[in-house]
Amino acid sequence: MASKGAISCQQLSKYFGDLAAVSQLDLNIPRETIYGFLGPNGSGKSTTIRMLCGLLLPTSGEAQVLGLHIPSQAELLKTKIGYMTQKFSLYDDLSVAENLRFMAQVYNLSPREQKQQLDKAMSVYRLGDLKNRFVGTMSGGQKQRLALAAATLHKPELLFLDEPTSAVDPQTRRDFWESLFDLVADGVTILVSTHYMDEAERCHGLAILDHGVKVADGSPPQLMEDIDAWVVKVEADEISRVRRHLSTLDNVISVTQLGMHLRVLLDKTISQPAVYVQQQCAPLNININASQIEASLEDVFVMATRASHPAGMAA
């Protein structure tokens, strides 16, 4: 069983009335990796996570999670997984220690395990000094450390983290990701949803979701290498005029302004992308400098979701 993947699902779908929140989703997630769901609001990230946790019944399709069949064996799965919900779900009017003790009871830890795991959580997640603090008075980053401590108290093999860093600053996010890699080194598999490109880029594997559909998947370097577009950086004096002009061209998939330069995605059928941009801008009589550059994950995201977010002036 150890060689088998942590999660696989086939044609998993969830409808709310007529709305396909998740549509025909196939996944194969290896053990001891961090797998990301990257997608805009309403793309089906939380719904998928809730189905894979066994908390929400799929409309059709099935999944195997840690070797258990979902939905039929969902009850058995509950003790093997940890789930950090999108909204902070611990008790503001209990202290850190009380919250953790409560979770230890929910997970049915023996008194010995309880003590051991609480001590460990206090030190690993730097909660010792906050032990008696009411959770309602803590910062976003402190709450997040507590939420991760609570979700891992029962030593789950698989962790579901639904947008865990949406309320914390970049440094806290970095620290949090270090904790995630430590967990993976200890044998845990992690499924994490995010809106942030930098977070998605840290994952071993990634699925980009849009309107409930998986529109791309692979490792971040692979996705960037396989992108079906050229990326051209354009510097110019009248940058907004250049942007408006480029966004009207058929071969231009998207134009984004980043400070004083543009990032242009071009159809791959063009043979010399930088020269093409230069030539197309000639009638403007503006001094421009165009150069081909490597794709970023954001470029991959724009390409993958462009069917539902029409081309042009993304910014």
Ligand X SMILES: Nc1ncnc2c1ncn2[C@@H]1O[C@H](COP(=O)(O)OP(=O)(O)OP(=O)(O)O)[C@@H](O)[C@H]1O
Would you tell me which residues interact with ligand X (CB under 6 A)? 16, 19, 21, 39, 41-47, 86
Q: What is the enclosing helix (H) or strand (E) of 218?
A: strand 213-218
Asked if residue 189 binds Mg ion (CB under 5 A), the reply is no
Query: Residues for the chain: how many in total?
Result: 315
Do the strands 60-65 and 34-38 form a parallel or antiparallel pair, or are they unpaired?
Answer: unpaired
Tell me the residue number closest to Mg ion, measured at CB: 46
Rounded Cα distance between 269 and 273, Å, is 9
Q: Which residue number, 42 or 67, has a Cβ lying nearer to ligand X?
A: 42
User: Per-residue x/- marks for Mg ion, 73-112, CB under 5 A?
Assistant: -------------x--------------------------
Q: Which residue number, 46 or 144, has a Cβ lying nearer to ligand X?
A: 46
**124 CB neighbour count, 10 Å cutoff:** 15
Question: How far are the Cα atoms of 24, 120, 245 from residue 61, in angstroms, in the given order?
Answer: 8, 39, 47
Q: Applying CB under 5 A, which part among 42-50, 199-207, 249-257, 275-283 lies near Mg ion?
A: 42-50
Q: What share of the chain is helix, strand, coil (3-state, %, to 5)?
A: 35, 30, 35
Report the candidate in 15, 107, 100 with the shortest Cα–Cα distance to residue 58.
15
Q: Which residue number, 13 or 46, has a Cβ lying nearer to Mg ion?
A: 46
Which does residue 154 bind out of Mg ion, ligand X, none, counting CB within 5 to 8 angstroms by kind?
A: none
Q: Applying CB under 5 A, which part among 45-53, 58-66, 71-79, 242-250 lies near Mg ion?
A: 45-53
Rounded Cα distance between 7 and 69, Å, is 10
Q: Which residue number, 45 or 263, has a Cβ lying nearer to Mg ion?
A: 45
Nearest distance in Å: CB 215, Mg ion: 17
Site for Mg ion, rule CB under 5 A = 45-46, 86
